[in-house]
Structure 1
Amino acid sequence: MKEDYSEKGNIEKYAAQVRNSDRTAFNNLFALLWEPMYVYAASIVPDNAVAEDLVQEVWIDYWQRREDVQIRNIKPYLYRAIRYRCYNVLRDSKFTAIQIETASTITTPAETELEEDLTELSKQIQAIISELPQRCQEIFTMSRIHQYSNMEIAEKLQISQRSVENQLSLALGKLRRELSIVKVFFF
């Protein structure tokens, strides 16, 4: 089930209101996310009643900690919370080799975690690019965003192709240094 942009906006709007103890916003958020979270939990734990209880526990915990927890994106936060609770139940129960194998193959919906990771990475890249000199930013944007060749950039800006290459090298070097942790994360 693909989430549209208006639903995503509503989810984040409700989450912001929940921080201010808005019960209506909490109920709206619950209505939007409870069923997908339950389906996710039921795909991990074999007992539907346990899955339902775990989802309820996550929601209760979220309400109780709403003012203390700083949550950037509520949906990935809730999915991680349910995943950990499910894994704890599996860890504490006796289960067969088939159940162990099944549990090891289950992950958080990829688009949920990927969305959060890409948003964070995009913010980091934008911050790094904004620290570059104006001309360097312009050349980097033309090259990497608008897909102009070095020769086209040189012609448009009336500079040498070597200058374009130097500016791109400067920008990419700064990105590499600043985002070196990303290499470890993705590879």
Structure 2
Amino acid sequence: MDTIEIEDLVLRVKKSDQKAFNTLFNELWEPMYSYACSILMNDSLAKDIVQDIWIDFWQRRQDVEVKFLKSYLYKSIRYKCYNHLRDQKFNKIQLEVAKSVSVASEVDQSDDVIELSTRINSVISNLPKRCQVIFRLSRVNNIDNKEIASQLDISQRSVENQISYALRQLRKELAVAKTLFSFL
């Protein structure tokens, strides 16, 4: 099932379409369960956690804003599993598995990269036009500040100031994303 089909089903779920929910559930339950099992090493607990996530998704379907469903679901699994492990006494094998599984799933990472890229492009497109041009020349085209200044017939200091301004805006606007990606 591709991303467009999933997005369409999520929109239908938001409108309380039980058939769309069942389709998503049937498609995604098994990989979610396998992921939870790989963290917890407990089949029944993994089933319970995955069930809880699906129940929560259905109950909050109209309130939750989900752009990438797989990413959302896998993060939910990881969060619930880690919370459970944190609250339990567990053995050395479970500790080792928890450490080895801490790397985000491939789906999770690619969705996060797409989302971050979209946010970065949005921040850049909201910069003043001259600042956008200078920033893209510097960071996308890898042109040094002196050459940019020469091309645009401005001082090198102006180029540096514009790049600094753009970077400050990116840092400010993406602070939330930084927190999100620090968990990966």
Question: Which TM bucket (shorter chain)?
Answer: 0.7 to 0.9
Partner of 1:3: none
Aligned mates of 1:88, 1:176 — CA distance in 2: 30
| Alpha-carbon contact 1:154-1:161 (below 8 Å) kept | yes
Aligned length: 182
Aligned ranges 1:49-64 → 2 under 5 Å: 49-64=44-59
What TM-score comes out, normalization by structure 1 length? 0.72
Partner of 1:26: 21
Partner of 2:10: 15
Partner of 1:136: 131
Partner of 2:40: 45
Summarize the Cα distance change of 1:156–1:89 in structure 2 as closer, same or farther, 3 Å threshold: closer
| Alpha-carbon contact 1:136-1:168 (below 8 Å) kept | yes
What TM-score comes out, normalization by structure 2 length? 0.73
1:65 and 2:65 matched: no
Partner of 1:169: 164
Secondary structure of the corresponding residue to residue 164 of structure 1: helix
Gaps in structure 2 of 5+ consecutive residues: none
Aligned ranges 1:111-150 → 2 under 5 Å: 111-115=106-110, 117-150=112-145
Residue type of the alignment partner of 2:144: S
RMSD: 3.3
Q: Deviations over 1:62-88 (max 9, x none)?
A: 222212333343222212322344345
102-111 or 75-84: which moved more?
Answer: 102-111
Aligned mates of 2:19, 2:176 — CA distance in 1: 40
Aligned mates of 2:176, 2:50 — CA distance in 1: 33
Summarize the Cα distance change of 1:149–1:57 in structure 2 as closer, same or farther, 3 Å threshold: same
Gaps in structure 1 of 5+ consecutive residues: 1-5
Q: Structure with the greater relative contact order (CA < 8 A, sep ≥ 6): 1 or 2?
A: 2
| Alpha-carbon contact 2:123-2:170 (below 8 Å) kept | yes
121-130 or 22-31: which moved more?
Answer: 121-130
How far did 1:178 drift?
A: 4.8
